[in-house]
Structure 1
Amino acid sequence: MSWALQMSRAYLSLTKPGIVLGNLISVTGGFLLATHGQVDWKQGALVASGVSLIVASGCTVNNVIDRDIDRLMLRTRRRPMASGAVAIPAALGYAALLLLVGVGVLYTATQRLLPLMLVLLGYAVYVGLYTLCLKRQSVHGTLIGSISGAMPPVVGYCAVQGGFDVTALMLLVMFSLWQMPHSYAIAIFRDADYRAAAIPVLPMVRGYATAKRHIILYIIAFMIASLSLGALGAGGLYMLSMLVAGAGWLAVAIAGLTTRDDTRWARKVFITSIAVVTVMSTAMSLHAI
């Protein structure tokens, strides 16, 4: 493999493409939800691109900050910062460039300050409150971090709507709630990594039994919030989709109370969570178009 290709892959890896893709889907869902069928596809592409670049910047900074604990975990020890493939100044410069271009693209698409303020708030929470402060110190880090992960669909919605209304608030709540069982499931099936890095997530600090109860309660709360969005006008297809998807996720979670294989069960909760958020974002999009 040539040096140029190796470096290209390293810089792409810094942005955590899986996270960027997930946020791309959710910001598109929020954007289309707000259009009520009157879609400006050029604006939508620019909003999605701008948010994706900003998310990529945040993920790059996260890689820089977490390079020490990444070396301790099996699944992350080969990341570019952990392995030393990319120098710290180069990575930070790359992150700054992604952030500046992303902000410029998003503002060009919206000509509004609110979407920028929201996405930068999410960036600050992820890089500052979560990565720098709470991730290594508090069991509540996951909850605070969920705010940043919930921001892209809100930004997509507000880019069209122009203001922060009850629907925007509901998007923030439901996407935040979704992330809690998703994150706890990862912590359970990646138990060895989290213990090696001494990250105080709920399953490690308070045990699997407590984590399982929290997962079930968060999924119930998520179902209530997601169905409430339907009552705000997301449509019948959305309501039906979320009722089925949410009930399926809850059934998988409840099975954890009697399972004999916590790792396998947690993987099922995680995989189902990905399916649920994809169904949710797709249903919001289909309602709009």
Structure 2
Amino acid sequence: MNQMQTKTPKNFFKNLISLIKGKVFVINVLPVLAGYFLSSHINHLPLAEQLTSFFVTLIGSAFVIAGALMLNNWYEADLDKLMERTKSRPSANGEFSKKFVLTLGITTSILGFLILLFTNAEVFLFSFIGWFFYVVLYTFWSKQKYSWNTIIGAVSGCVTPLIGWSVLSSSFQLIPMMMALIIFIWQMPHTYSIAIRRFDDYKRAGFAMLPVVSGIKKTKIHLLFYLICLIPMPFFMKSLGLFFIGFMTLLNIGWIILSISGFATQNEQHWATRMFRYSVIHMMLFLISIIVMSI
């Protein structure tokens, strides 16, 4: 590890958090928790009786997610150097060597899958689907070639609540699938907002994001389409109550209004930043409300 410039445990830990894209990691682990708590609530299974399986799934899925994010950083290290948003990542600035990042990403992924072997087939299956779509189909194959790479990436994100739910019950039923569908749809406007916000970065690095390939105006139309698709989703989760349906509907309408304002804006960077922040708040409130109602 002679190429590593990190010299103190504090700096090493800081760079490790950056390597797993701290906030991205958290927003992918939270749906696992939400799916688990919701499954416990819907299936009337006491949480206290499932603590072992809960922690095994949480730790295993966290390792798998972290490993996938590390492998993404390893593969895109040279391109990340060209982007303001990512050039300070340890895989791009030389704090961690590419060999170290690759080794750590593979090791962490394998360790996560080994831990998940102690759960059940569905938990392992959804974890593998998420990892495979993000690492192989999104990072290695489509992100630099096709503007619809966002759809592939969204598949990897939407299986996370199914991982948590499957610990206690089969995920092949309406509520967990609707939860996964909401997260799938959410990722589209969320990612498009980032792509518009960082348009110059993605263009410079050569990523085939929709705004770069087809233009910002077309991206805004796609973004609005997906937001409209979110409107009926909470109504399929009526077992969570009228408050949940009303709360999510108001959040969705607010996001649509903000999206429409983008067609008349003169400052697309500012608008895209507001869209991005709203998307993060939207998802956090969605997941937290599920967890709170399930406890």
Alignment of 1:10-29 (within 5 A): 10-29=15-34
Q: Which residue of 2 aligns with 1:270?
A: 276
Q: Is the 8 A contact 1:123 1:148 kept in 2?
A: yes
Q: Which residue of 2 aligns with 1:260?
A: 266
Q: Is the 8 A contact 2:171 2:177 kept in 1?
A: no
Residues 49-90 of structure 1, C-alpha deviations (whole Å, 9 max, x = no match): 221211110000000000111011112112111122212232
Q: Which residue of 2 aligns with 1:90?
A: 100
Code of the residue aligned with 1:134 in structure 2: it is S
Alignment of 1:12-161 (within 5 A): 12-36=17-41, 38-39=46-47, 40-108=50-118, 111-161=119-169
Residues 164-201 of structure 1, C-alpha deviations (whole Å, 9 max, x = no match): 22323222221110000000000111111011112121
Which structure 1 segments of 5+ residues have no match? none
Work out the CA distance in 1 between the residues paired with 2:87 and 2:171: 42
Q: Which residue of 2 aligns with 1:241?
A: 247
Q: Is the 8 A contact 2:234 2:244 kept in 1?
A: no
Residues 93-139 of structure 1, C-alpha deviations (whole Å, 9 max, x = no match): 2122322332233343xx31111111111101100000011000001
Say which is worse superposed, 239-248 or 263-272, in terms of deviation. Answer: 239-248
Say which is worse superposed, 45-54 or 78-87, in terms of deviation. Answer: 45-54
Say which is worse superposed, 187-196 or 39-48, in terms of deviation. Answer: 39-48
Work out the CA distance in 2 between the residues paired with 1:210 and 1:245: 24
Code of the residue aligned with 1:8 in structure 2: it is F
| Residue 167 in structure 1 maps to residue 172 in structure 2 | no
Provide closer, same or farther for how the CA distance between residues 206 and 163 of structure 1 changes in structure 2, counting only shifts above 3 A: closer
Between Structure 1 and Structure 2, which shows a larger proportion of helix residues? 1
Q: Which residue of 2 aligns with 1:287?
A: 293
Q: Give me the identity figure in percent.
A: 26
Q: Is the 8 A contact 1:20 1:55 kept in 2?
A: yes
Work out the CA distance in 2 between the residues paired with 1:106 and 1:279: 28
Code of the residue aligned with 1:152 in structure 2: it is T
Q: Is the 8 A contact 1:245 1:279 kept in 2?
A: no
Q: TM-score, normalised by structure 1?
A: 0.92
Work out the CA distance in 1 between the residues paired with 2:28 and 2:171: 21
Which structure 2 segments of 5+ residues have no match? 1-5
Say which is worse superposed, 93-102 or 16-25, in terms of deviation. Answer: 93-102
Q: Which secondary structure state, in structure 2, belongs to the residue aligned with residue 162 of structure 1?
A: coil
Give the superposition deviation at 1:163: 4.2
Work out the CA distance in 1 between the residues paired with 2:106 and 2:21: 16
Q: Which secondary structure state, in structure 2, belongs to the residue aligned with residue 257 of structure 1?
A: coil
Q: Is the 8 A contact 2:34 2:288 kept in 1?
A: yes
Provide closer, same or farther for how the CA distance between residues 89 and 2 of structure 1 changes in structure 2, counting only shifts above 3 A: closer
Work out the CA distance in 1 between the residues paired with 2:58 and 2:235: 25
Q: Is the 8 A contact 1:158 1:168 kept in 2?
A: no
Work out the CA distance in 2 between the residues paired with 1:227 and 1:136: 37
Code of the residue aligned with 2:248 in structure 1: it is M
